[in-house]
């Protein structure tokens, strides 16, 4: 086969055969396809799009370009993926809650890039935690603990790794077809029986409008189901963070407060909803409501907290994290309170601006090689609809240098709108797809 003819077909709006798409994915993985050809392929897809069948074939071919895990466990294997947002630490709650309800969760996650935080970066804010484990260790931890949140090895979907690097320098990252194949090739390589997709919408998400979110959600759900994995999607609101904190150690602290019963609110509402759907999908609950009740019980009675602490220890973290977690999390030396300048309500916040603020503090990365300071970020951020008086604290900014913190505190004030009008707070759960 010939890469040029495959690229030409896509460019002309034609659909290559499944064998041709498989050959191209193998060429991405083994180097037979050049960077120039990979870039041309990505640009052709960006311009012309792909049919559902072609998208499924590309996803399956990229999945099969490396190792595909198999499991021999006494319960169903499930997984969840979020398209990313600010203050989104759902995975750290959901994986252990699912595990204590009888599911097994090998969750291959990513790092933060741009304005959104990464699940792996949050975990690695805990001293000693290593998320880059071998497949043998992944199998052992999942079997013993019930869940493991780790990074992909180089043997998982190598075609995607190659194509993603090319997309990043050819302005084709925002292709829905390529986003779909990239996300699902890695997720499906873990061979879950059921998958729930959390597609974020709003100021703190990549997808800003309902139309954008629905297009991506539909593509993901259709493709995953066509590839043989029972998949549902939920579009959820990201016009404000899910917890009142942004930054790796600060978000882990919020997770532990939620697991300890000290924190309610949006983070638990979405965890229960997503987990309930998954449990119902694999027969561990009679329906989504029953599943949500099971997840809620696991979070409230401490079982999920114990499971999370076991996972942390299995990944090399502290063995006393369940009871002594606060002592292990880094604390920034400079903290500045940001106060409201007038009476009113918190009516809006620019989630993307807040995410970039954390990056500038040192809590995120602009390139994959950037070092992260786990201690920096934002805490005590008031939610949309909160009533404030002039002089009230609306958030705290944590950083390593007083001059940088002072600048970012003023930027935070500009990113959070306080006005006299009573706001309409968007619903957290916007739409469910696939059932």
Which residues are marked as active site?
Answer: 79-82, 119, 167, 182, 186-187
The whole-angstrom separation of Cα 394 and Cα 391 is 9
- In sequence order, the 6+-apart residues with CB closer than 8 A to the CB of 360 are 404, 408
Under a CB-based contact definition with an 8 Å cutoff, are residues 355 and 115 in contact?
A: yes
Under a CB-based contact definition with an 8 Å cutoff, are residues 190 and 79 in contact?
A: yes
Per DSSP, the three-state class of 236 is strand
For residue 358, CA distances in Å to 276, 306, 324, 328, 417 come to 32, 30, 26, 21, 18
The whole-angstrom separation of Cα 268 and Cα 119 is 17
The whole-angstrom separation of Cα 100 and Cα 309 is 13
Which residues make beta-bridge pairs with 419? Answer: 345
Under a CB-based contact definition with an 8 Å cutoff, are residues 142 and 106 in contact?
A: yes
DSSP sequence for 370-400? ----TT-EEESPPPTT-EE-TT-EEEEEEES
- Give all strands of the β-sheet with 194-201 in edge-to-edge order: 78-82, 194-201, 230-237, 429-433
- Taking the CB of residue 193, how many other CB atoms lie within 10 A of it? 19
DSSP sequence for 404-435? HHHHHHHHHHHHEEEESSPP-PPPSEEEEE--
């Amino acid at each position: 086969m010939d890469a040029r003819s495959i690229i030409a077909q896509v460019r002309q709006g034609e659909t290559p055969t499944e064998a041709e798409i498989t050959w191209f994915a193998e060429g991405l993985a083994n180097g037979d396809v050049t960077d120039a050809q990979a870039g041309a392929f990505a640009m052709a897809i960006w311009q012309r799009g792909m049919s559902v069948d072609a998208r499924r074939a590309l996803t399956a071919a990229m999945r099969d370009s490396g190792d595909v895990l198999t499991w021999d466990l006494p319960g169903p294997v499930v997984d969840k993926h979020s398209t990313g947002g600010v203050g989104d630490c759902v995975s750290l709650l959901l994986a252990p809650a699912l595990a204590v309800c009888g599911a097994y969760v090998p969750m291959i996650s990513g790092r933060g890039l741009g304005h959104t935080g990464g699940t792996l970066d949050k975990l690695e804010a805990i001293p000693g935690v290593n998320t880059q484990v071998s497949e043998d260790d992944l199998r052992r931890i999942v079997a013993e603990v019930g869940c493991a949140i780790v990074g992909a090895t180089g043997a998982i979907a190598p075609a995607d790794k190659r194509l993603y690097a090319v997309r990043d320098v050819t302005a084709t990252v925002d292709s829905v077809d390529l986003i779909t194949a990239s996300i699902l090739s890695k997720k499906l390589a873990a061979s879950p029986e059921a998958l729930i997709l959390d597609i974020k919408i709003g100021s703190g998400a990549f997808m800003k409008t309902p139309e954008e979110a629905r297009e991506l959600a539909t593509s993901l759900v259709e493709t995953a189901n066509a590839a043989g994995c029972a998949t549902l999607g939920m579009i959820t609101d990201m016009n404000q963070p899910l917890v009142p904190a942004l930054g790796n150690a600060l978000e882990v602290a919020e997770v532990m407060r939620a697991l300890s019963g000290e924190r309610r609110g949006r983070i638990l509402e979405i965890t229960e909803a997503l987990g309930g759907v998954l449990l119902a999908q694999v027969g561990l609950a009679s329906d989504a409501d029953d599943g949500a009740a099971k997840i809620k019980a696991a979070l409230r009675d401490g079982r999920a907290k114990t499971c999370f602490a076991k996972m942390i220890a299995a990944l090399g973290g502290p063995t006393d994290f369940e009871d002594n977690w606060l002592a292990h999390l880094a604390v920034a030396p400079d903290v500045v309170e940001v106060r409201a300048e007038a009476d009113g309500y918190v009516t809006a916040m620019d989630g993307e601006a807040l995410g970039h603020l954390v990056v500038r503090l040192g809590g995120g990365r602009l390139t994959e090689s950037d070092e992260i300071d786990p201690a920096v970020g934002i805490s005590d951020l008031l939610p949309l609809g909160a009533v404030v008086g002039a002089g009230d604290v609306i958030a705290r900014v944590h950083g390593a240098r007083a001059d940088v913190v002072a600048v970012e505190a003023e930027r935070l004030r500009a990113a959070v709108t306080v006005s006299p009008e009573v706001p309409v707070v968007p619903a957290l759960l916007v739409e469910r797809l696939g059932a």
